[in-house]
Amino acid sequence: MNSHFRIAVKFCAASVLAGFMGAIAPAAGALIWNVEYLDAAGSGFNDGTFGAQRRSTLGSVLSYVSGVLSAENGTIDLRVDVSQSDGTGFLAQGGTYFNPSAPAGYYNGFAYDHVRSGGDPSATVPDATILVDFGYVWNSGLGAPAANQYDLFSVLLHEITHTLGFNSQVMQDGSSFFGSNNPGIFNVFDSYLALAGGQNLFGAGGHFLGVANDLISGNVVFRSPSSGDDFLMYSPDPFEGGSSLQHFSGISGAVMLPSYSRGSSIRSYSPADCTVLVDIGWSASCGAIPEPSSGWLLTAGLALLLAAICRIGDQERRRFDSVDLVAL
Ligand SMILES: [Zn+2]
């Protein structure tokens, strides 16, 4: 926790669970994160033993991201949903909301929109949400994870990065998650997807130009306009909704890989991670990325959680990354 953050408290009126909220603000010229926690006393981020440390680690993640995005000024409303504790399925999820009624085209989602427009995109939903399954064995603090632990900082950094727009709305047939029309509503991220050594998969205005087989070819790249790199993306056969296309493939040390393993950590952006953030529109300082600590690991997929504790409006939908557990 550092000067980039301040903490406040909030309750979710629609819930029987008390929420508490933290706001993260820097002195001047930085991001403010309004963080709302929905966990009840005694569980998850409000656990009697580990809660404070878990919240502190999320604060450290947001501080790190704010440092990378130090040229940005604005607010992001982040809701931390009621934690899971079953220790099965995904490790964590993260996503941002979109307006499904918007014209076809490319969007980064509400988190980006809130920062850049200066106005709250929705009065009924936050900009982004994350969810963690604390049923797994976690390294909650900033020390090195033990061999049997997943590193909370690393996983939270991965999820927060999805909320910034490192995400895809492309379904397995090339249509948008928000509807089957072509053109459709896609991420800005999607607009840079291409085939390695070949054509771009999207054209102006949200037009998908490829065919379904392209998306399971193992040959999809993110064609970086700023660096000229083709970053290989995860595009397995069969298509993995929520994981395909929105994670790197085989880029060592990247935060945005589709799987993480116990006993390791990745707590800072690789050049590829940061380059993508720049390409989708953020003012990110990729040259001198602060190192919060060391280490990491994880896997991802997609899940829809349209209902939650607080009521979600009809005009916004969010697409999640879900992190599937892969023991490596
Ligand atoms: Zn992911």
Mean of the pLDDT values across residues 62-81?
Answer: 95
| Mean pLDDT estimate for the chain | 82
Query: How does residue 159 score in pLDDT terms, banded at 50, 70 and 90?
Result: very high
**From ligand 1's centre to the CA of 298, what distance in Å?**
8
**Residue 182 CA to ligand 1 centre (angstroms):** 26
What residues contact 227, with CB distance under 8 A and at least 6 apart? 275
Listed range (30-34, 152-156, 176-180) with the worst mean pLDDT:
176-180
- In the reported structure, the alpha carbon of residue 51 is separated from the centroid of ligand 1 by a whole-number distance in angstroms of 23
**Is residue 88 very low, low, confident or very high in pLDDT (cuts 50, 70, 90)?**
confident
Using N-to-C axis directions, what is the helix angle for 51-68 and 152-163, rounded to 10°?
A: 50
What does the pLDDT read at residue 89?
81
Higher pLDDT pick, 224 / 315: 224
Ligand 1 center–CA 7 separation, angstroms:
27
User: What's the gap in Å between 156 CA and the centre of ligand 1?
Assistant: 10
CA of 29 to the centre of ligand 1 (A): 28
Report CA(163)–ligand 1 centroid distance (Å).
10
Ranges 10-19, 96-105, 130-139: which has the least confidence: 10-19
Q: What is the mean pLDDT of residues 208-212?
A: 97
Ligand 1 midpoint to CA 27 (Å): 31
pLDDT tops 70 at residue 251: yes
- For residue 277, how far is its CA from the centre of ligand 1 (angstroms)? 14
Secondary structure string (H, E, C) spanning the chain: CCCCCECCCCCCCCCCCCCEEEEECCCCCCEEEEEEECCCCCCHHHCCCCHHHHHHHHHHHHHHHHHHCCCCCEEEEEEECCCECCCCCEEEEEEEEECCCCCCEEECCHHHHHHHHCCCCCCCCCCEEEEEECCCCEECCCCCCCCCCEEHHHHHHHHHHHHCCCCCCECCCCCECCECCCCCEEECHHHHEEECCCCECEECCCEECCCHHHHHCCCEEEECCCCCCEEEECCCCCCCCCCCCCCECCCCCCCCCCCCCCCCCCCCCCHHHHHHHHHCCCCCCCCCCCCCCCCCCCCCEEECCCCCCCCCCCCCEEEEEEEECCCC
Interval 234-244 mean pLDDT: 91
Long-range contacts of the stretch 84-89 (C-beta < 8 A, 24+): 84/131, 84/132, 84/133, 84/134, 84/135, 85/43, 85/44, 85/133, 85/134, 85/135, 86/133, 86/135, 87/133, 87/135, 87/136, 88/133, 88/135, 89/133, 89/322, 89/324, 89/325
Q: Which residue has the higher pLDDT, 59 or 3?
A: 59
Nearest to 319 by CA among 242, 237, 254: 242
From the CA of 28, how far away is ligand 1's center (Å)? 31
Could you tell me the distance, in angstroms and rounded to a whole number, from the CA of residue 253 to the centre of ligand 1?
Answer: 14
pTM of the model: 0.84
Decide if pLDDT at 146 tops 70.
Answer: yes
Region 26-37 average pLDDT: 78
- Mean pLDDT, range 274-295, rounded to an integer: 77
Centroid of ligand 1 to alpha carbon of 243 (angstroms): 6
Q: Per-residue pLDDT for 16 more than 60?
A: no
Question: How far is the centre of ligand 1, averaged over its atoms, from the C-alpha of 255 (Å)?
Answer: 9
Which of 43-52, 116-125, 256-265 is modeled with the greatest confidence?
Answer: 43-52
Tell me which of 3.40.50.300, 3.40.50.10790, 3.40.1360.10, 3.40.390.10 is the CATH number of domain 20-184+241-324. Answer: 3.40.390.10
